[in-house]
Amino acid sequence: MTGAAAQKSKIPLLCATVLVSEVLVIYFAALAGFGLRPVPFGWVIGGATALAALCILAVATLPRRRGQRSAGIALGWLAQILILAAGFVMTSLFFVGAVFGVMWAVAVYWGRRMDRELTAWGR
């Protein structure tokens, strides 16, 4: 395999799956916040929308080629930290943040590892 297809990174495939799944869970948490009313509903929806937008921005800026640097991974880590911090508003988000934080770390690790191994294999 040569050309552009050979240089595609595996990071977007793995990391985008985690972030898009996280967007769905964030909005389910917002629905739970509607019933629990930990803070005014506008704040719940605003926070969920901001977190979802951050996750989508992270997906859009993930590196597309092996070895490429971009802000996507750092934005993904920021999203994980903010979701953990949202646990102070709704305590169930501590669990959600921890689970997705581990999934994010695994996706970044394995994406980078696959990229390194595919680069070494192609030489």
CA distance 117 to 102: 22
Enclosing domain of residue 93: 10-122
Assessment of whether the complete model's pTM goes beyond 0.85:
yes
Q: Count CB neighbours of 37 within 10 A.
A: 9
Residue 35 belongs to a domain:
yes
Residue 88 belongs to a domain:
yes
Residue 80 belongs to a domain:
yes
Q: 58-113 pLDDT, tens per residue?
A: 999 999 998 888 999 999 999 999 999 999 999 999 999 999 999 999 999 999 99
Amino acid at 36: L
Residue 5 belongs to a domain:
no
Q: 6-52 pLDDT, tens per residue?
A: 689 999 999 999 999 999 999 999 999 888 888 899 999 999 999 99
